[in-house]
Amino acid sequence: MLEKINQLITEISAFSAQIPEEIEQFRIKHLSKKGTIALLFEDFKNVPVEQKKEIGKALNELKTVATAKVNELKEQLCDQDTGKSGVDLTLPGDVLKTGTRHPLAIVRNEILSIFDKLGFTVSEGPEIEDDWHNFSALNFPEEHPARDMQDTFFIEKHPDIVLHTHTSSVQVRDMETHELPIRLVTPGRVFRNEAISARAHCIFHQIEALYIDENVSFADLKQTLTYFAKELFGADTQIRLRPSYFPFTEPSAEMDVSCTLCHGKGCNVCKGTGWLEILGCGMVDPNVLELNGIDKEKYTGFALGMGIERITMLKYGIKDLRLFFENDLRFLKQFTTAI
Ligand code: DAH
């Protein structure tokens, strides 16, 4: 019996396990009520008295070794789970914080992708411009109030250089550099000397579209605007054109869309009118074509320009324009999108 006990001690000491089930099987085999050790204790009754002391000691040792083994194996497996460093690898991972797009970028991309479907490609121009590109080539008369120091940021030592007040200045660059026909959209940041408030800022964003080809008509402009408004604000959106004046378009119009909130019934967003002003547009003034070296007898075109802040405010129900520039994460985190 002593021999059997010693043999078991050796066997048990050498035992190792990879998974919890193996430890459990091992425990049942040796330490359960019907296990090898319990059986040996049973047999112990029959051991002659003179051997009881020695065998009893060996039996107790066997039980201690087996119990210690089970505990040791359990601890080992637990260590493997948590790694030696004590890090529990089974815990869920840290969520990687990705940024979100700025709401103005989301709406800009949306607008550009609508025009992309109509075949308009993106062009960009400089923010610092000369008087020619920002005003003169766009048919602004010398005395036009928009040239006034009140509205325009001039460079102090160079009164001919301005921060462009609208993305229309890029139309002029496009006409200089592109072969006809031209079908371009221009997103950009523009600057005007305005007091900052909930409704105005000295920096804001615009998107301009320019289309020049043979036989471009006002009907093309109207159809483009209708498609654009329905894509941007929903299929049930109506548009309305009101006559207006811009130096670089003739005729000129302002486009309203049916109120995105009340759908034309009248609410405080549309001030009870049911309509929201969205953009300025018109047929490119023949003077502008001529000033930019394009044959005004052969070509016609349309142009349009809109403020991205205003459209974003309407789309998301944002009430204060300053929020776009404050970089407050509580505001920015609310806008998540793939584009
Ligand atoms: N440039 C004008 C503005 O900043 C917007 C505009 C109106 C652009 C009519 C156009 C247009 O291209 O045809 O207020």
Span 247-293, pLDDT tens digits: 999 999 999 999 988 988 999 889 999 999 999 999 999 999 999 99
State if residue 307 touches ligand 1 by the CB under 6 angstroms criterion. Answer: no
Atom of ligand 1 nearest to the CA of 206: 4
State if residue 280 touches ligand 1 by the CB under 6 angstroms criterion. Answer: yes
* Residue bearing the CA closest to ligand 1, atom 4: 166
Give the distance (Å) from ligand 1 centre to CA of residue 143: 18
Atom of ligand 1 nearest to the CA of 168: 1
State if residue 305 touches ligand 1 by the CB under 6 angstroms criterion. Answer: yes
Atom of ligand 1 nearest to the CA of 166: 4
Give the distance (Å) from ligand 1 centre to CA of residue 171: 11
Q: What pLDDT was estimated at residue 309?
A: 97
- Interior CA angle at 294 toward 293 and 296, to 5°? 125
Write the CATH number of the domain with boundaries 103-332. Answer: 3.30.930.10
pLDDT band at 84 (very low <50, low <70, confident <90, very high): low
For residue 8, give Cα distances in angstroms to 67, 127, 282, 314: 13, 87, 98, 82
Task: Say if residue 69's pLDDT is above 60.
Answer: yes
Note the Cα 237 to chain centre separation in Å: 26
Q: For residue 170, which of 114, 210, 222 has the smallest C-alpha distance?
A: 210
Q: What pLDDT was estimated at residue 252?
A: 98
Give the distance (Å) from ligand 1 centre to CA of residue 102: 24
Task: Say if residue 217's pLDDT is above 70.
Answer: yes
Residue spans per domain, the chain? 2-85, 103-332
pLDDT in tens, 147-192: 776 689 998 899 899 999 999 999 999 999 999 999 999 999 999 9
- Dihedral sign for Cα 124, 130, 131, 137, please: negative
Atom of ligand 1 nearest to the CA of 210: 12
Q: What pLDDT was estimated at residue 178?
A: 96
Residue type, 187: P
pTM of whole model > 0.85? no
Summarize the confidence of residues 126-134 as an average pLDDT: 96
Q: For residue 125, which of 187, 211, 204, 193 has the smallest C-alpha distance?
A: 187
